[in-house]
Structure 1
């Protein structure tokens, strides 16, 4: 009921009018007219309550004061710094703990003499501060440009392109992570995220809807994973230097094969004479297997799985890969349960813990099946065609992406986009190394340009096409950047 008791209810809408002269309102043609606005207050009557967050920000269309804008800039910078430092610091803590665990073994002591624990801690602190400054500066720069452009050109006149320009200007803040540090992987991944948002906007558009129709394919995420797998796993076998060091280390661990074995497969795939058959035989002796390799072999199955058959190798490898995958996903599911759902954990601990364990088991099965199927499909093709070459390796690693179907639907696109970003980076690195890309089109800091372009698209979608975001991402963006009054910047659409 309304305060006046006339039976009308107060709605949650926010009018698009602005205060004018003579207590009236200006319409789009600047004609002063008197209207009965739902948010107007009768003389002598108390101000009606507006329950929604949008209406609370409206405040009868009074623009934000300068100190409020400065406060928004400061808060955005502080929150951006908190997120950057928190994420990088958390990863650094896990890395240091893993390092301390590895140093207990004598073999790892010989490998890690180049850097001490104190140096590793100092480096982690520096990286944490750098990433905090990066995201803090990015958030502060975007909000500053958003407010400055709006103040100079008018919030409504610049609403459709202001966030696009502000996002592009804020992009070079990635240089704060280190002037000599390349972030191609991060830039390409953000570009993939921006492309997804742009495609969702295209699907909604009447002009581009038909063009973007294939992007609505139900299993498009699995197809993207297959494309990414073909490049990533081919590079893992044939050209590991095209992959980022951390990702290469991850693949070497979960690929389950020693580097000398990969070198043997690489030699036969490239049609080169074997250079390390003796090293492969020595490696198998260290694990208790005696194998004699034929230098005239046509397929590398005996190199990959010694005296085992292809079928037996797949099952034994799958079991070993599952044991390697469990420690990867256990913290991914259990730590959020302890931090984010700690209150629910006290009320229904068995339900949440069971859900986390099921998720851990499922994701671990995906990763182990993914790695095992890579060797399964390549062996399958090698045996059928009686040969091993680069096209066969690319073809054999393509269907490996089908393992993504094991994961739940909500995680598939995230995983496929992450891998696709790595694949694109590896592909262009291979093209440049082979001389297929002219030096004139290569840039020293292409990562900054790509990142700036991507952030421009993302922030434009955040400002104008908010419905293309998932709610969890939109909540984070709103928390960091703040939502200006919809009466000043019409970001919210009437529903």
Structure 2
């Protein structure tokens, strides 16, 4: 039998490779390629083209900055004017002058509604900040040829000079201390999330209420004993909200300091109230009695109830204006789509806030009256304790609002403490120190907004993003990426564990993109 012919093309001999050795060499090659690409990108970051700006390619940096300036100016100007007009309407309605609501001369006259200068200053503050911030970011991108956290810090600090639009140093100091509290909050949240540092008890459920109580204790103590340490507008607000007259506070302050009480002015006050012979002041040399604190009502319990109800009636128009106008101006489209829904949200939040403040006033009055029932001598520490106890009324507020209220009152407490320490020469009185502090804090705020937004309070984060009206915190990646960048992204996606991908797919949109629901937004 003849031998079979050999095939024209014979298969190559089988070569057995070590799979583990091949995988190792492949991984080494990928690692060397990754290092080379990263080195190339690092060189391009320094010597390569400019990083992309936040605005579109069809818009210049100057036009983008000026547009943001004008938009934010008009937005904040409109909010302030709207609040003033709504408060004026409540005042006319309270006086039963309903026909005047349709008379524009009485509703928006400059004589009765002096908000033009203040609204312009607020507009210049926020508009100047957003415009200069965008301009500085574009300049730093082109000058430094790279995008780093230093750009956000420097641009935010320099743009913070817009606070000079406010001519009142007390208001500038209050804003600076408010931002300082916010930056401290962001820094603490950042350290806590990285397991670097946290206070004992920081995970308490009512830690925000405790901070609010301590801050209110300092504020009420300062209002009674050192009213000059609080801004005049804040003094007037507390005075008008509470049921006790200013001459009585003055007498209490003099009594706590063991000084001579001006009995003549106190008697004149009681005479004007129609109570000239209701009490003999000489019989109470060491404490001002309840009959002087509330001369119109003999029952302390009835006085506390009347104080709470009167506070509700006086402050509801203010809180409704502060709630309704931002809802409309900042979210006009939502208001146009569902006006009744927006009004309901504003009404609900206003009732919450007014009930909390009314309870605060009633509890504070009750603690003062209780002290006079059990003690025969007054002491300034009583008013510090009364402020802390009355602040427990914040539990009537929603949980999401308590931390915001605590961080709102904390700068007021720090402001008064700063003033007291400076007057006692325990702190140096540095000229324009509040401006420098504001600029430094704005740099910190912008850093956390862009690079660690999760550490910021949701309200502040959404508000600043709305004012900046840009995508700085979530920039859109340009489509013209180099192939090496695409390769790195693909390689990372391949190496990602499948379990992690499944967890991301199962996560809700709010968890995946870290969006937090904001009440009313």
1:280 to 266, 270, 279: 266
1:140 is aligned to 131
Partner residue, 2:26? none
Matched, 1:90 2:82: yes
Match of 1:249 in 2: 236
C-alpha displacement of 1:119: 6.6
* Mapped contact 2:79–2:325 kept (Cα < 8 A): no
Distance 1:336 1:177, change over 3 A: closer
Q: Within 5 Å, which residues of 2 pair with 1:165-180?
A: 165-178=154-167
Q: Mind listing any 5+ residue stretches in structure 1 that lack a counterpart?
A: 1-24, 33-57, 106-116
- Map residues 45-64 of structure 1 onto 2, 5 A cutoff: none
Deviation for aligned residue 1:285? 4.2
In structure 1, the residue matched to 2:365 is 375
| 1:310-345 deviation per Cα after TM superposition (whole angstroms, max 9, x unaligned) | 333322322322222322323344445666443454
User: Helix, strand or coil for the counterpart of 2:115?
Assistant: helix
CA RMSD after TM alignment: 3.7
Describe the superposition over 1:221-266 as per-residue Cα deviations: whole angstroms up to 9, x where unpaired.
2112211211211222222221111111111101121111111211
> Deviations for 1:145-203, whole angstroms, at most 9, x for unmatched residues?
222222222334xx232211211111112113338785211221222222222222222
Match of 2:407 among 413, 417, 420: 417
Unaligned runs of 5+ in 2: 1-34, 43-50, 98-108, 486-511, 515-521
Match of 2:175 in 1: 186
Q: Secondary structure at the match of 1:207?
A: coil
Judge which range, 307-316 or 146-155, deviates more: 307-316
Tell me, in whole angstroms, the C-alpha distance in 1 between the residues paired with 2:96 and 2:317: 18
Matched, 1:455 2:442: yes
| Deviation for aligned residue 1:137 | 2.0
How far, CA to CA, are the matches of 2:173 and 2:54 in structure 1? 44
In 2 relative to 1, CA 248–233 (structure 1 residues): closer, same or farther, beyond 3 Å? Answer: same
Going from structure 1 to structure 2, the CA distance change for 1:405 and 1:293 (only over 3 Å counts) comes to farther
Residues in 2 aligned to 1:275 and 1:409: alpha-carbon distance in whole angstroms = 45
Query: What is the TM-score normalised by the length of structure 1?
Result: 0.74
- Using the alignment, how far apart are the partners of 2:432 and 2:355 within structure 1? 38
Supply the distance in 2 between the matched residues of 1:262 and 1:215 (Cα, whole angstroms).
37
| Greater CA drift, 315-324 or 399-408 | 315-324
Deviations 1:62-114, CA, capped at 9 Å, x for gaps: 99759543343233222332233233333454576688899999xxxxxxxxx
Larger Rg: 2
Change (3 A) 1:328 1:176: closer
Task: Compute the displacement of 1:206 (Å).
Answer: 3.1
Counterpart in the other structure of 2:281: 294
Match of 2:195 among 193, 198, 206: 206
Tell me: CA distance 1:452–1:103, structure 2 relative to 1, closer, same or farther (3 Å). farther
Gap change, CA 1:94 and 1:288, over 3 Å in 2? same
Using the alignment, how far apart are the partners of 2:57 and 2:343 within structure 1?
Answer: 48
CA distance in 1, matches of 2:117, 2:323: 28
> Which of 259, 267, 275 pairs up with 2:254?
267
- In structure 1, the residue matched to 2:211 is 224
Query: Which runs of at least 4 in structure 1 moved beyond 6 Å after TM superposition?
Result: 61-64, 95-105
The aligned residue for residue 313 of structure 2 is: 323
Contact 2:169 2:434 in 1 (8 A): no
Q: Distance in 1 between matches of 2:362 and 2:432?
A: 37
Name the CA shift for 1:213/1:154 in 2 (closer, same or farther; >3 Å).
farther
Using the TM superposition, give the Cα deviation of residue 286 of structure 1 relative to its aligned residue in structure 2, in angstroms: 3.7
State whether residues 281 and 293 of structure 1, in contact with CA within 8 Å, keep that contact through their aligned partners in structure 2: no
1:150 and 2:162 aligned: no
Q: 2:119 aligns with which of 114, 118, 128?
A: 128
How much has 1:362 moved relative to structure 2?
2.7
CA 1:251 to 1:476, structure 2 compared with 1: closer, same or farther past 3 Å? closer
2:27 paired residue number: none
| Alignment match, 2:39 | 29
